[in-house]
Amino acid sequence: MKHAWLALALAACQNTKQESPPQQQPPQQPSQQENSSQMAPQPPSAPSPGSRTDLTNAFDRDGGKSTRIAVADLDGDGDREIVAIDAKMIRVLDATGRDVTSLPVVDGIQQLLAADLDGDKRAELYAGWGQTRDHMDSVAKITTYRFEKGKLVEEVIATPATSRQDVTSLTVYGPSELLVGYFDSKYMVTSMVATKGAKGWTTKTIASIRLAANYARGDLDGDGKPELVVGRVYGDEMGVQGDAFVLAADGTRKMIPSTRGLRSVITLDTDGDKRAEIFMGDGWHNNYAKEAHGLLTTVKLDGTLATGTFTSALIEDTGQYEVSKILPATIDGKLALVTQGNSFAKVFWRDNGAWKSLTYAGVTRDIAVGDLDGKPGDEIVIAADKSELIDLTGALR
Ligand SMILES: [Ca+2]
Ligand SMILES: [Ca+2]
Ligand SMILES: [Ca+2]
Ligand SMILES: [Ca+2]
């Protein structure tokens, strides 16, 4: 129910009056209007493929529930840790869910990214804080945590001045560079690059674009320089559906074909041609309970950025209203896309050129991937009513 509340609150916050979703709880299961309108709604099934380890007691403590999680090697010993953040604590756990260290939380956690931006072979945590139900007085803030002598050490990267306390995204931009998306006013999202230098962090604004919440960075045309992909739920004007585009340094946009708005986007070279494809969770609609489709779509650029064209292919209509997160992983020796949606979570992989999918969980608060057992391949961690470590080895058939 927390996820439903978050989705509703997010949609409500991001909407104008004209774009407002119905003021009701969104459905917890995929809409069934297409072929079974007479069927009573079914509760989401709770599929549980693979071998699973319960992490609920590790993630949910003292009445709190972890809403953001990550998997990364924070101390550089080659074994990954699990990070879980709730309204009161950041917890670092080992791969089996045992406590390593923790740090009290004073703000509302919105975004969490684990990445080694400083190149010391140890991942840092990057966190975007702002107003949440548990922290209504929080202001927008970006912090980083490094793991030092068994403890987390915090450093503030930026506290952007804004009237809306809402960090929308954290993305690796380049070596020592973090891309931050945050609302600078009710509808406008600033994209800002934070750079770690010898004297600490400096920031530089790229753009302020209406509702541009989602970003991805990848070399789409194979010229060795990464492009910046922007995806958003709504367009430049009130009542205009969302879109996706490549944002050039001079602010010009090359539109990327999509079905209306995006709730998530990543870039990843899955065919080995040194050019990244775009994977997007598109199909958003302002009347999301009735009209939105949680699509997973792939787009490839043929030719150069200046003159080339995008080719788009639908991977799947997942039968829910959004695909809210997409993570690359290697599972069973296959390159896979691990996704989160509002009703269920699916993993996608290619089999002889065709995409296949498997539902691995129902409603989740967050998902993360990484190798946690030391055996080849990534495992999936979910924060949910039943939080789990999921090993899908042998399940992608
Ligand atoms: Ca470690
Ligand atoms: Ca590092
Ligand atoms: Ca490029
Ligand atoms: Ca593994």
Q: What is the pLDDT along the chain (397 residues), one digit of tens a residue?
A: 344 444 444 444 443 333 433 333 333 333 333 333 344 455 556 678 999 999 999 999 988 999 999 999 999 999 999 999 999 999 999 999 999 999 999 999 999 999 999 999 999 999 999 999 999 999 999 999 999 999 999 999 999 999 999 999 999 999 999 999 999 999 999 999 999 999 999 999 999 999 999 999 999 999 999 999 999 999 999 999 999 999 999 999 999 999 999 999 999 999 899 999 999 999 999 998 899 999 999 999 999 999 999 999 999 999 999 999 999 999 999 999 999 999 999 999 999 989 999 999 999 999 999 999 999 999 999 999 999 999 999 999 8
Q: How far is the CA of 242 from the centre of ligand 3 (A)?
A: 24
Q: Would you give the DSSP letter of residue 135?
A: B
Q: How far is the CA of 77 from the centre of ligand 1 (A)?
A: 5
Q: Which helix (H) or strand (E) holds 152?
A: strand 151-158
Q: How far is the CA of 366 from the centre of ligand 1 (A)?
A: 21
Q: How far is the CA of 331 from the centre of ligand 3 (A)?
A: 28
Q: Which amino acid appears at position 222 of this protein? A: G
Give the torsion sign (CA, 114, 117, 123, 128).
negative
For the whole prediction, is pTM greater than 0.75? Answer: yes
Q: How far is the CA of 380 from the centre of ligand 4 (A)?
A: 9
Q: Give the number of the ligand closest to the Cα of residue 146.
A: 2
Q: How far is the CA of 129 from the centre of ligand 2 (A)?
A: 21
Q: Give the number of the ligand closest to the Cα of residue 123.
A: 2
Q: What's the pLDDT score for residue 3?
A: 46
Q: How far is the CA of 125 from the centre of ligand 2 (A)?
A: 9
Give one DSSP letter per residue of 65-91, joined into a string.
---EEEEE-SSSSS--EEEEE-SSEEE
**What does the buried/exposed string (b/e) look like for 101-139 if buried means 16 or more CB atoms within 10 Å of the residue's CB?**
ebbebebbbbbbbbbbbeeeebbbbbbbbbbbeebeebe
Q: Give the number of the ligand closest to the Cα of residue 71.
A: 1
Q: How far is the CA of 143 from the centre of ligand 1 (A)?
A: 21
Provide the token pair at 38.
């007479």
Q: How far is the CA of 71 from the centre of ligand 1 (A)?
A: 10
Q: How far is the CA of 64 from the centre of ligand 1 (A)?
A: 25
CB within 5 A of ion ligand 2: which residues?
A: 116, 118, 120, 122
Q: How far is the CA of 298 from the centre of ligand 2 (A)?
A: 31
Q: What's the pLDDT score for residue 44?
A: 56
Q: How far is the CA of 117 from the centre of ligand 2 (A)?
A: 6
Question: Rounded to an integer, what distance in angstroms lies between the CA atom of residue 153 and that of residue 150?
Answer: 10
Q: What angle do CA 257, 260, 266 make, to 5 degrees?
A: 60
Q: How far is the CA of 276 from the centre of ligand 3 (A)?
A: 9
CB within 5 A of ion ligand 4: which residues?
A: 371, 373, 375, 377
Q: How far is the CA of 220 from the centre of ligand 3 (A)?
A: 5
Q: Which pairs count as long-range contacts for 186-189, CB under 8 Å and 24+ apart, including other chains?
A: 187/14, 187/16, 187/211, 189/213, 189/232
Q: How far is the CA of 247 from the centre of ligand 2 (A)?
A: 28
Q: How far is the CA of 147 from the centre of ligand 2 (A)?
A: 9
